């Protein structure tokens, strides 16, 4: 569903710039900025690579969430690296299908994790008690994609891949940005042993990553609403 508030339409044009700025915070020699270009302040000791919130932002009034369709982008030169010396070439069509699949899995996983056990309903309309989530999965690196091409082939890898989550939180009515988070995770197999990868195992590993991120958001909302675990 598209959100048509003026503020959100305005910020949509700077998504790429924001991703580049946030992405630089994950570089080994860089420190996340203490204050972002739009006035968000760095959260100390965050459970993700970097998180920022608007000073004085009160999240306690939000007991529902609205989830925009995630933007998905592969790691730079991923297609070229995959096709180097490979019998089965990755096409742009293959990449588009994988991006659509990741976006769908993102929504399914976040809806499930946020909503379970007296959680937070994912709704389709803005309201005063609705927190808007604007996600992106960037630098997606699928180690051994299952392209389901003609002929038999087997892919083995110690990791199903990695991805970076970029998430912005807004007041759904006004479009005011309240927070931003960025984090990168890799889907490593236990013990880093080689494992046969296919469409089913890749999806399972991707869901584990997404569930971890959804769980962190759920834990934060639970803490704010006094729903801490027993």
- Tens of pLDDT, residues 57-113: 999 999 999 999 999 999 999 999 989 877 778 999 999 999 999 999 999 999 999
Residue 229 domain-assigned?
no
Residue 66 domain-assigned?
yes
Residue 1 domain-assigned?
no
Residue 89 domain-assigned?
yes
Neighbours of 229 (CB within 10 A): 7
Residue 29 domain-assigned?
yes
What total number of domains does the chain contain?
1
Burial class (CB in 10 A: 0-12, 13-18, 19+), 230: exposed
d(CA 140, CA 102): 10
Give the pLDDT band (50/70/90) at residue 6.
Answer: very low
Neighbours of 197 (CB within 10 A): 24
> Above pLDDT 70, what percent of the chain?
75
Residue 230 domain-assigned?
no
Return mean pLDDT, the chain: 82
State the average pLDDT over residues 201-225: 92
Report pTM. 0.82
Q: What integer pLDDT is reported at residue 104 of this predicted model?
A: 96
Residue 186 domain-assigned?
yes
Which of 73, 38, 21 lies closest to 170 in space, CA to CA? 38
Give pLDDT tens digits for 119-163. 999 999 999 999 999 999 999 988 777 776 544 454 544 456 889
Mark 179-188 as b/e (b = at least 16 C-beta within 10 Å). Answer: bbbbbbbebe
CA terminus-to-terminus distance, the chain: 36
d(CA 112, CA 124): 15
d(CA 176, CA 29): 31
Give the pLDDT band (50/70/90) at residue 192.
Answer: low
Residue 209 domain-assigned?
yes
Helical residues (DSSP H) of the chain, grouped into ranges: 6-12, 15-24, 78-83, 92-115, 199-224
Q: What integer pLDDT is reported at residue 143 of this predicted model?
A: 79
d(CA 41, CA 59): 15
d(CA 181, CA 221): 14
- Domain range for 58: 6-224
């Amino acid at each position: 569903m598209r959100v048509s508030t003026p503020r959100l339409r305005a910020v949509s044009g700077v998504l790429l710039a924001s991703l580049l700025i946030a992405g630089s915070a994950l570089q080994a020699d860089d420190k996340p900025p203490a204050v972002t270009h739009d006035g968000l302040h760095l959260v100390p000791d965050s459970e993700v690579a970097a998180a920022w919130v608007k000073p004085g932002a009160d999240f306690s009034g939000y007991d529902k969430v609205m989830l925009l369709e995630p933007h998905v982008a592969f790691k730079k030169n991923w297609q070229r690296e995959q096709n180097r010396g490979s019998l089965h070439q990755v096409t742009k069509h293959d990449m588009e299908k994988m991006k659509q699949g990741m976006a769908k899995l993102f929504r399914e996983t976040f809806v499930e994790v946020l909503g379970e056990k007296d959680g937070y309903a994912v709704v389709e309309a803005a309201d005063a008690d609705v927190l808007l989530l604007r996600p992106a999965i960037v630098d997606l690196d699928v180690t051994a994609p299952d392209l389901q091409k003609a002929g038999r082939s087997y892919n083995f890898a110690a990791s199903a891949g990695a991805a970076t989550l970029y998430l912005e939180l807004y007041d759904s009515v006004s479009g005011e940005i309240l927070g931003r988070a960025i984090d990168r995770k890799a889907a490593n197999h236990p013990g880093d042993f080689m494992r046969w990868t296919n469409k089913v195992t890749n999806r399972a590993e991707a869901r584990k990553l997404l569930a971890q991120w959804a769980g962190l958001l759920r834990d934060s909302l639970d803490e704010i609403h006094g729903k801490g675990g027993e």
